[in-house]
């Protein structure tokens, strides 16, 4: 049973934190979502439902968690703030059998949980901006690939996740996030939807796993280091950036030719498919 708490009332939030001797910490990107309609919409985008497993990163004191639990889903929540963990365990979800809390830095704890329990059906989170992109890349590069991921992030980061080759926002992160997922910007959220209000606009991105990955299993391990190298210096050509992989100039020329990529091409014009062919050609 979840508790009956008004997560959208700033005075209720203030009083609860005060009563527990807590405050909001900037370094952990603590901005609670206080718009009930947005919380409901995020949960509906996540497709959370009875019996499905959901990971939530950064539950805070449980605003999104309580909506996820209301669907009957089994929620594993990763929270770094000890004070929030205490509220989650002792007050908010003390008797909730579908709630599991993993205390500590999600960047360090998620792999063990994954090893023990496998990939969740869903990841849904209002992510701390400072760790958001690192965490998403870490899930994907380690091949923890749930069928759906729904994230609230800085709009700028969501634009990068949804960008296509040639777009101003296209980056190595766009390649990493779209190799296995089809991504779309689902909601935009002005700072006033959060407490305290952040300095930037936010957006919700829905990432749906592709029926078939754009990566071949035989090259997927080498793909991510190749992408990192190709995008390492924006001003440099692909040929120059590839030197970081320790290949000879001849190997690089040959691989580029095989992939049909001009040596003077810039990374921001290369699709996932082209980069996958390049990865495979480099390993020959």
Structure tokens at 51: 């019996």
User: In this structure, are residues 225 and 141 in contact, taking their beta carbons and an 8 Å threshold?
Assistant: no
Interface mask toward ligand SAM for 184-223; x: CB under 6 A: ----------------------------------------
Helix axes 220-230, 272-282, angle to 10 degrees: 110
- From 27-35, 158-166, 224-232, 233-241, span contacting ligand SAM (CB under 6 A): 27-35
The rounded distance, in Å, linking the Cα atoms of 209 and 174 is 15
Q: 40 by DSSP, 3-state: which?
A: helix
**Residue 106 interacts with ligand SAM (CB under 6 A): yes or no:** yes
Binding mask 44-83 for ligand SAM (x = CB under 6 A): -------------xxxx--xx-------------xxxx--
Q: How far is the CB of 148 from ligand SAM (least distance, A)?
A: 18
Beta carbon of residue 274, minimum distance to ligand SAM (angstroms, whole number)? 34
DSSP H or E run through 159: helix 155-162
Q: Residue for token digits 């718009």?
A: 35
In the complex, the smallest distance separating the C-beta of residue 72 from ligand SAM, rounded to whole angstroms, is 19
- The residues facing 78 across adjacent strands are 57, 102
d(CA 43, CA 64): 8
Q: Residues 53, 98, 126, 183: which binds ligand SAM (CB under 6 A)?
A: 126
Residues that bind ligand SAM (CB under 6 A): 28-33, 57-60, 63-64, 78-81, 84, 105-107, 126, 128, 131
């Amino acid at each position: 049973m979840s508790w009956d708490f008004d997560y959208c009332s700033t005075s209720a939030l203030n009083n609860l934190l005060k009563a527990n001797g807590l405050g909001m910490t900037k370094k952990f990107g603590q901005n609670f979502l206080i718009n009930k309609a947005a919380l409901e919409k995020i949960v509906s985008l996540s497709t959370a439902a009875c019996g499905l497993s959901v990971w939530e990163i950064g539950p805070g004191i449980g605003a999104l968690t309580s909506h996820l639990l209301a669907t009957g889903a089994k929620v594993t929540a990763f929270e770094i703030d000890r004070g929030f963990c205490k509220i989650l365990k002792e007050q908010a979800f003390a008797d909730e059998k579908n709630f599991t809390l993993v205390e500590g830095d999600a960047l360090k704890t998620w792999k063990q949980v994954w090893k023990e329990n496998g990939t969740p059906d869903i990841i849904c989170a209002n992510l701390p901006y400072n760790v958001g992109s690192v965490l998403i890349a870490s899930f994907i590069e380690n091949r923890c690939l749930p069928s759906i991921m729904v994230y609230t992030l800085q709009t700028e980061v969501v634009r990068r996740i949804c960008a296509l080759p040639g777009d101003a926002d296209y980056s190595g992160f766009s390649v990493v996030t779209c190799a296995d997922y089809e991504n779309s910007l689902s909601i935009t959220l002005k700072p006033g939807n959060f407490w305290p209000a952040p300095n930037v606009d936010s957006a919700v991105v829905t990432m749906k796993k592709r029926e078939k990955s754009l990566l071949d299993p035989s090259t997927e391990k080498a793909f991510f280091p190749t992408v990192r190298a190709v995008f390492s210096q924006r001003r440099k050509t692909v040929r120059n950036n590839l030197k970081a992989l320790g290949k000879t100039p001849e190997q690089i020329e040959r691989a580029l030719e095989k992939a049909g990529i001009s040596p003077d091409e810039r990374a921001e014009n290369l699709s996932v498919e082209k980069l996958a062919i390049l990865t495979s050609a480099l390993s020959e």
